[in-house]
Amino acid sequence: MNPAEARLLWLLSVDSPRTLRDVGEALELEQSTVNRQVNASIRSGLIQRHRGPDGRAFLVEPTPEGAAAFDADMRDLLGGYGAALRELGDRADEFLDLLDRFTAAYNRDKG
């Protein structure tokens, strides 16, 4: 799964289904980029599109296969993080504290 597909499935796993406009706003993407990524994910069988209750707006949501692929990728990713943290042993808490501080400083300076 590529990063664009993973990001789209991550968003849709939290609050699905969404309109294309909702996706663009949440991911801070131009509408043309949303359309391209959504269409590619539909062709890959990861998400599906259908008309919303109003009959006008299209809604997108994960397919069962897309949800399963996202869950499997997240399990693999988190398992890798867990293995790496176990390698740090007693220093894992120190690393996580430093990572929290780094992230806070990065977000402060970025904003």
pLDDT, one tens digit per residue, over 56-103 is: 889 999 999 999 999 999 999 899 999 999 999 999 999 999 999 999
CA–CA separation, 7 and 47 (whole Å): 12
The full set of domain ranges for the chain reads 1-111
Q: Which H or E element spans position 48?
A: strand 47-51
The CATH number of domain 1-111, selected from 1.10.3720.10, 1.10.287.1080, 1.10.10.10, 3.20.20.210: 1.10.10.10
Determine the residue type at 57: A
Enter the tokens of residue 1. Answer: 């799964």
Q: Which H or E element spans position 62?
A: strand 58-62
Say whether the peptide bond before residue 3 is cis (omega within 30 degrees of 0): no
Q: Flag whether pLDDT at 111 surpasses 80.
A: no
The pTM (predicted TM-score) of the whole model is 0.76
